[in-house]
Structure 1
Amino acid sequence: MPSKSSAAQELVIVTGASTGMGAATARAMARRGFHVLAGVRRDSDGEALRAAGIEPVILDITRQEHIAALVARVDGDPRKRALRTLVNNAGIPGAGPVEVVPLDEWRRLFEVNVLGHVAITQALLPALVRSGGRVVNITSLNGRIAMAGYGPYAAGKFAMEAVSDALRNELAPHGVQVVVVEPGGVQTDMAGRGTADLSRLAARMTPEQRTRYGTLVRALPSHVAAFTKAGVTPDTAARTIAEAATARRPRTRYTVGATATFLIRASRFLPDRVLDRMTTSDLRKHYPKAGG
């Protein structure tokens, strides 16, 4: 890990830094002495985050002009600091049965949760190659295990796992390391935003779809809330992300939280149908009671 004095000569970018895990990661990296360019969506979020070593930048990773402005900021840094790490953390929730979620919503999820990360990584790779820097991709437990009702979100996270593996091999000869961080539950407000989307999804289902998936869709908000409440704090997750970003010889993957660690390890040796029964059993605990 670089010393605090040497880190002060380097830049770190954290996308999705308005709140939660991203904001905590920006603060954790600033405490380590880096100058953090913290991607936020609104000026008010930036002002709440601004501190020593944290410079908020307006960044929607689906907007090319925002990415271009960020590249110009890095290349034109007044102190000529190198870009040490890009932390791809931005993302949006998305749950519901595969059959029911509209294709436009699938496209929106992939635009943000996959293509936006690819776009910003492509744009910043020249700077990272020059510095021998690092890409840290925040995926999820859902990037290794896809449970009923989580298909749209999991699909994007599975895709980012694949992108990360390809990048790791492509960039290794050029001195850029690629690391994945796989959180389980984290106590953020992202779950609440997803619950509101589920209510709108339920209202749009056809009678036939309600017969098939009504119980599942009604169970998902409770399941998400319980998973989030039992999760780690954003600061705990940020410590792991900071370790992934600064370790001299990082692992290729880090998990965050006991549930993620257990299920990801179990998925390596358990038959698919056994794992299916485990995850379905946990979800069924949240099915509405008869007559409820």
Structure 2
Amino acid sequence: MSSTNQELVVVTGTSSGIGRATAERLAKEGFYVLAGVRRQEDADKINQDNIEAVIVDITNVNTLNDLAKRVKDDLYRRPLRAVVNNAGIAVNAPLEMVPLDELRRQIEVSVIGQVAVTQALTPALLASGGRVVNIGSLGGKISMPGFGIYSAAKFAMEAINDSFRREMASSGLKVIMITPGGVSTGMSEQGIQTSGRLSKLMTPEQHKRHDRLFSAVKAQAESWARDGILPEKVAAIISRAIHEQKPRTRYTVGPDAVLLTRLVRFLPDRILDRMLRWQMKL
């Protein structure tokens, strides 16, 4: 694509992991990618051919208005082909002790922020017949011990994704959910750091109940970081969802996601409970 007929794609959360891999893949395919990052130092790292870093805090409506204006005012690269809602955080801690401000932060970033991005860019997507690609998680299908706060946000996005897809079906806007399993990304490291910080807030009684769980959560996150699928594999599926004329409503990525999303539909709760606790060595 030349600069006079390139299609735009917006990808949030591109400082690392799935977002960065997606931005780089789509840029190589000829799209002009507006890559959302929160910090200038991350912007400096991702700026390259066909990738323009934009400072976007998805919890700040002013930066989202600026992003929508950037898309609208681009006279050379249009239309807006897709928005990839990838930005997010991971708050992993037992429900009993997680500070409510941390719960609010998880929902604010990983749910309200995703909706805010979508709302800001829906006019451009409707004009182009584009599509919204939401990056979900296996955590939106099954809630593991210690991951309930994160899963709450991902379950919420499943509901929002399905409702929005049905609302916009007659308007030509396609809404797609990508559901990866464990991915080797910086999200795992960020989750480990958050868990470590929150573990210090427990009372002595809570330490007795949950020290083992915090260790299991850390081990699980380390396992994903070490053995999870590469973010480039998820990026390839995102590219497919953007390119296909008739994309599926959802794509599941990774053997653990494929297996567990099937098991959760058939196994009784108590068997699933025992299986997950065994898997986490609890």
> What TM-score comes out, normalization by structure 1 length?
0.93
Q: Specify the SS of the correspondent of 1:120.
A: helix
Offset, 1:5: 6.8
C-alpha separation between the residues in 2 aligned to 1:6 and 1:48? 22
Q: Over aligned residues, Cα RMSD in angstroms?
A: 1.5
Alignment of 1:1-292 (within 5 A): 8-79=5-76, 81-284=78-281
Q: Specify the SS of the correspondent of 1:261.
A: helix
C-alpha separation between the residues in 1 aligned to 2:145 and 2:217? 9
Offset, 1:42: 1.6
Offset, 1:216: 0.7
Count the aligned residue pairs: 282
Which ranges of structure 1 fall in alignment gaps of 5 or more residues? 288-292
Which ranges of structure 2 fall in alignment gaps of 5 or more residues? none
Contact 2:14 2:20 (8 Å CA) reproduced: yes
Offset, 1:243: 1.0
The ranges of structure 1 where at least 4 consecutive aligned residues each deviate by more than 3 angstroms after the TM superposition are 4-8
Offset, 1:233: 0.9
Offset, 1:108: 0.5
Q: Specify the SS of the correspondent of 1:259.
A: helix
Contact 1:8 1:34 (8 Å CA) reproduced: no
Task: Report percent identity of matched pairs.
Answer: 50
Q: Specify the SS of the correspondent of 1:204.
A: coil
Offset, 1:195: 1.2
Contact 1:85 1:136 (8 Å CA) reproduced: yes
Offset, 1:100: 1.0
> What TM-score comes out, normalization by structure 2 length?
0.96
C-alpha separation between the residues in 2 aligned to 1:18 and 1:196? 17
Note closer, same or farther for the CA distance 1:52–1:263 as it changes in structure 2 (3 Å cut). same
Offset, 1:8: 4.7
